Structure 1
Amino acid sequence: MKIFKISLGIVFSIAVFVSCTEDFEEINTPPNAIIASNVDAGLLGQAFANAQMRSMRGAPGGGAGGFQLAQSLFADIYSQYFANTATNFDSDRHIQVGGWSNGVWNYFYQQAAPLLQFVVDFTEENGMEVENAIGRVLKVHAYQRHTDYWGPIIYSEFGNGETSVNYDTQESVYRDFFNQLDIAVNALKANPGARAFVGHDQVYAGNADQWLTFANSLRLRVAMRVKYVDPALAKAEAEKAVADGVMMSNADNAAVLTTPFSRHPYWTITNWGEFRMSALMESILSGYEDPRLQIYFSQTDDFTTSGEGKPYRGLRNGLPRADLDQGALNRAFSDMGVRWLNEVRGGSAAGPEFRMMCAAEVYFLRAEGALEGWAMGGTAKELYEKGIEMSMTEERIAATPEQVAAYTASMSMPAPVVYPENSAWNLPGSSDIPVAFLENGDMESQLEQIITQKWIAIYPDGWEAWTELRRTGYPDPYPRVASDNVDVPRDEVMARLIFVEGEYNSNREAVEAATQIPELTSRGGDTNATRLWWDAKQNKPW
C-alpha cells in the first residue's frame, strides 16, 4: 500500500469537485496521509478538477477572499492594473502584509500542492500515461506562479513526510520545469487523440491534444522567463516549443470553467469596492484609444450620474491612508468591466472563465523571441500584430477586422493623466511608443511595444503581468504616491515576497537555510527588493 505523506504535519484532505455544476465538498482522510489503494479513477478525476481551481485561486478557503489575498492585493496592484482604495490596505504602498502572504503560502501547500502531487504520483504508479502527462503540465503551471512570488520554494522535497522540508533554488525549479514538460509532451505526442479526465477536466474537457498545445505554450513562457539569465537555454526551449506546436487561435486558450457554484473570484470581490483602475491603465488605454477600455472597465459612477468629466478614470497607486476616502474614490474612478461584475450590477451568474493562458500571450512571446533572431515562425512585426488581433478578436472583445487594422496602424501614444481634484497627482504620458510597430526602431523600443501590448492582452492576470514587468521593465510603471517600505522606494517595483512567518514557526531550519541561498544573498538577501533568479535584465526604466 502506497501512502503519500504531506510535509509540515498538515492534515491533508482531498477537496472533491463533484461535477461541473455542483459545489466543492471536502472528504476527510487520516491525518498526514492519503491511502492511494483506496482511491479509484473517479475520485482521481475529482481530485484533478479540484487541483485546477485551487491552484488558480491561491489562498485560504479557495474562494474569492483567498483570491483577493493571493492576487488582488499583491500582483494586481504591483502590476499596476489596479490601485487600492480601501483605507486599511497597505500593499499598494509596497507593504507585504504578513497575514496575507502567510495565507497564500499555506493554502498552496495545504490544498493545491497535495492535490497536484497526488494526481502525478497516482497516475504514474498506475500506468496512466496521458493523465500523468496532463497532471505534470498543471503542476508546472501552478508551481511557476508560486516560485515567481518568492523565488526559492519548497518543490522537490514536498511530501517527504519529514518535519523539515528543504527549499529548492528558483534556478533548479525552473530547470526541472523543462524536464517535467519533456515527460508530458513526449507522452501526449505518443497518444494522439487521447481523452483523459473526461467529465472532470474544467479546462479542455479531457482533450489531450489541447493539453499538448498548452504544454508547448507553457514551455515557451518558461523559456522566455529565463532569457536574461540563460539565453542559450531560453532559445533552445523556445524553439522546441514552437516547433512542437503552440497556441495559434483563441480556440486553444486555456481557462478554468466557472459556474454559479464555482464563480470567478472577481465576480465577488468587485462588489467589495476596494480597488479601481490604475493611472497607468488609463494612460495606455485612453491614449491608444483602445476599444478594450470599455470592456475591461466600467464608466465611473460620477460620470454616469452627472455626465461630466471623463467616463473612464484611473487612480494613482500608493495613496497614503489620509487620502483613501474609499467611497469618494470608488465613485470617481473606474471599476472592472461588467463582464467581471455580479448579476445585480449587470454581469452574469458566474463571471468569465478563469484564464490560465491565451493565444495572444503566445504570439507576443514569439514576437519577443523573433526580436532575438530565434526561429519563431514569423517576424517580430508579424507576430506582434497577430497577438493584437488575437486579443481584440477574443469573444470578450469581438472587434471587427476594420477596428483591428486601424488600431494596429495607430501612431497614438499613452496619454497624460490629469486630476482636477489634486494637481499634485498629475502625470505625463507613461511612454512615447505608439501601437504601430516601429519597424525601424531600436530593439528595446520594439520590446516595449510587445510587452505593453501583452500587458493589455492578458488582463486581468496580474500574476503574470507583475512577473513580466519585473522581468522586462515594461510597461514603464508610474511612481507610487508613497511607499512605506524602506527597501522599495516609491519609484521602484516590488521584486518579490519575503518568506512567511508560518515557515519560521513550523519549518524554521529549512527556511533559515533558504535565506542563505546564494540566489538571494548575492542580490540583497530575503527582502522585497531582491531580484529573483530570472530577474537579470540590466538598465530597466526605474
Structure 2
Amino acid sequence: MNFARYKKFLMVPILLSMGACGGFVDDINVSPNNSSTATPSVLLPNVLAGAGFANNGELNRFGSVLVNYLTGAGGSPSNYDRFSTTGADFGNQWRFDLYGGALINAQKLIEVADASNSKTYTGIAKIMKAYAFSMATDIWGDIPYSQALKGEEFLQPRLDSQEDIYKGNQSEGIQSLFDLVREGLADLEATSALKPTNDDIVYGGNVDNWKRAGNTLLLKLANTISKREPALARQVITEVLQKNMYITSNAQDLNVKFGSNVGSTSAIWNLAIFGSFRNELIMSTRFLNVLRPDAANPAKTDPRLPVFFTKPAADYVTLDNGYVGALPNANTYSRYAPYVTGAQGEGPVRLLTNFQRAFILAESALTLGTPGDPQALYTEGITASMRLAGISDAAITAYLTANPNIATLTGTNEQKLEQIITQKWIAWTGNGLEAWNDWRRTGYPRLTASQNAVGIDGTRPVRAAYITQEIERNPNFPNPGPQSNVKVWWDVD
C-alpha cells in the first residue's frame, strides 16, 4: 500500500476518542472522519501500524538493551542498561501506543466491521487485539483487560490477573487470549460483506495468510506460558498442528512495513538511526562476541553479523553493557543495519515469523512432547533466520558444517533448550521484547550482570513498573505496585 495514504489514515482522530482505559479523554475535535463514521478500510491500517509502532519503539529499546543486542550509550537506554527503570518510564507507550493506539483502534474496528457484517475485518482486528494485549500483559503483568476499551462504562477499569488473561475466567467475564484469537480465526472463515485489499498493509488482503498468522499467534501464546501451564500449552500447540495452517515460509511472516519519508518511518529508525536519540544506542560488545567468538577464524563468525549491524569503522565499534566513561566517536558506532530498520526507515517490524514458529515447535517437541523432531525444527529455525537475512544456502551449509557445536543439539534436554533459545535470540535481533520474553521464561540466553548495575538489587528487570499516571488515576492499581524485580505469572524460571 502507498504509505502516503496510510499517513492520511493516521490523521483520523480515533486514537483517543473512546478512551483506552478511560480517563485520558479530553479535548477531541468532532470531525466527519472521526471514529463514529470511520470505515473498516480507514481503521485497519491504524490497527496494524499501531501494533508495529508499539512493538518497535521505546519498549524495543528497553528490551534490546536488556537482552544485550545493544548497549545504552546515553539517555534512557543507559538507565535500562544498568537495570534502572521506574513508573516514570513508558507512559506514552502505555497510554498512546497500546491502550490509546493499537488496542482502541482494534476494538473500534471490531465494532464498525460487525455493523456491516465484514467478518474478515473483525477477524484481523481480534487477532491484532490479542497480540497487543499479550504485549501489554507480558510487559506489566496484571493489566486492565476485560473492562478496558469501554470508555465511560469503566473509567477506572479493574486489573485482571495475567493468569485470567491467558486462561480466561468465565465467572469474572474474562475471555482468554486463546479464545479471542480463535474467535478471530472463526471470523476469517465467515462470509464478509467487505474485504481488505490495499488497506491491509501486512498481507494485502490475503486471508489465508491471516489464518496462518492467527494460528502462529496461538503457538506464541502457548509457548509463553509453557513453563507455568505445560498441559494447556501442549493442548494448544497440538490443536494448531492438527489444523496445519500456520506460518511455514518467510513470505508468510507478519511484518508491518512503514514508509521511507520523514514522518512515516518506523519507530526504531527514528530512535536508533536518524533522530535526535540516535547516539543513545550502540551495538553491545557481548553480542558481537557471540556472533564473532573468534575474530581470527572467519569460519566461526555468524554470517548474519554484517546484516544485523553496521561496521562504519575498520572494525565493529561496540561498548560493554553498563559501561560508564568516555564514548567513541558517534560516527563510528555500530548500529542496527537496514535488516532491522530498513534502508530509509521502512522496516519491516517483525511480529510473527517463520523462524519463530520453527523454534517454538523445536522447543515444544523437546520439552512438551508435541509432534516433530527437535533437531530438524531447530535447523529449520536457523535456516529460516539466515535466509531472511539474505544468506545463501551454500553459506548457511558452510557455517553449520564449520560449527557443529551450533548445528547439532547435544547434551541434556536443558542443554538442548539453551541451544534452541540462544539461536532464537540471535534470530530475533531487532525485536528486543520477544527475546526478553524468552530470557525471562527460560533463563536463556545466559546473560551476566551489566557493569555498574544499579536498579533493584542490581538485578535485570523481569517486568516494567506500573505507569505512575495510572497509579495516580485509577485506584484499582496497587500503590506501590510490583517493582522490576517481581516476576510476572508465567515467569517460573
TM-score range, shorter chain: 0.7 to 0.9
Say yes or no: does 1:372 pair with 2:367.
yes
Larger RCO (CA under 8 A, 6+ residues apart): 2
Aligned to 2:171: none
Which of 266, 269, 273 is matched with 2:268 structurally?
A: 266
Say yes or no: does 1:403 pair with 2:370.
no
Q: What is the alpha-carbon distance in structure 1 between the residues aligned to residue 445 and residue 430 of structure 2?
A: 15
Report which stretch shifted further, 77-86 or 212-221. Answer: 77-86
Q: What is the alpha-carbon distance in structure 1 between the residues aligned to residue 308 and residue 217 of structure 2?
A: 25
Aligned to 2:296: none
Which of 68, 91, 106 is matched with 1:80 structurally?
A: 68
Q: CA deviation at 1:195?
A: 7.7
Q: What is the alpha-carbon distance in structure 2 between the residues aligned to residue 336 and residue 348 of structure 1?
A: 11
Aligned to 1:90: 79
Q: CA deviation at 1:187?
A: 2.9
Report which stretch shifted further, 256-265 or 473-482. Answer: 256-265
Q: CA deviation at 1:274?
A: 1.2
Q: CA deviation at 1:505?
A: 2.3
Q: What is the alpha-carbon distance in structure 1 between the residues aligned to residue 193 and residue 369 of structure 2?
A: 32
Aligned to 2:100: 110
Report which stretch shifted further, 213-222 or 129-138. Answer: 129-138
Aligned to 1:435: 406
Which of 161, 166, 169 is matched with 1:169 structurally?
A: 161
Say yes or no: does 1:459 pair with 2:429.
yes
TM-score normalised to structure 2 length = 0.85
Say yes or no: does 1:291 pair with 2:324.
no
Which of 46, 52, 72 is matched with 1:50 structurally?
A: 46
CA contact (8 A) 1:281 1:314 kept: no
Relative distance call for 1:35 and 1:186 in structure 2 (3 A) is farther
SS for the counterpart of 1:100 is coil
Relative distance call for 1:22 and 1:494 in structure 2 (3 A) is same
> What amino acid sits opposite 2:268 in the alignment?
Y
Relative distance call for 1:238 and 1:488 in structure 2 (3 A) is farther
What percent of counterpart residues are identical? Answer: 25
Q: CA deviation at 1:102?
A: 1.9
Matches within 5 A, 1:445-484: 445-484=415-454
> What amino acid sits opposite 2:67 in the alignment?
S
Q: CA deviation at 1:493?
A: 2.4
Relative distance call for 1:134 and 1:23 in structure 2 (3 A) is closer
> What amino acid sits opposite 1:536 in the alignment?
V
CA contact (8 A) 2:218 2:240 kept: yes
Q: What is the alpha-carbon distance in structure 2 between the residues aligned to residue 502 and residue 400 of structure 1?
A: 50
Aligned to 2:379: 385
CA contact (8 A) 2:90 2:467 kept: yes
Q: CA deviation at 1:23?
A: 7.1
Q: CA deviation at 1:504?
A: 2.2
SS for the counterpart of 1:90 is helix
Q: CA deviation at 1:217?
A: 0.5
CA contact (8 A) 2:12 2:34 kept: no
Which of 510, 523, 528 is matched with 2:476 structurally?
A: 510
> What amino acid sits opposite 2:356 in the alignment?
E
Aligned to 1:528: 484
RMSD: 2.8
CA contact (8 A) 1:313 1:334 kept: yes
Q: What is the alpha-carbon distance in structure 2 between the residues aligned to residue 23 and residue 48 of structure 1?
A: 9
Q: What is the alpha-carbon distance in structure 2 between the residues aligned to residue 35 and residue 264 of structure 1?
A: 27
Q: CA deviation at 1:210?
A: 0.5
Q: CA deviation at 1:51?
A: 1.5
What runs of 5+ residues in structure 2 fail to find an aligned partner?
Answer: 19-24, 168-175, 294-299
Q: CA deviation at 1:338?
A: 4.2
Q: CA deviation at 1:18?
A: 7.0
Matches within 5 A, 1:171-250: 171-175=163-167, 176-190=176-190, 196-244=195-243, 245-250=245-250
User: For this pair of structures, how many residues does the alignment match?
Assistant: 456
Which of 119, 122, 137 is matched with 1:129 structurally?
A: 119
Relative distance call for 1:122 and 1:21 in structure 2 (3 A) is closer
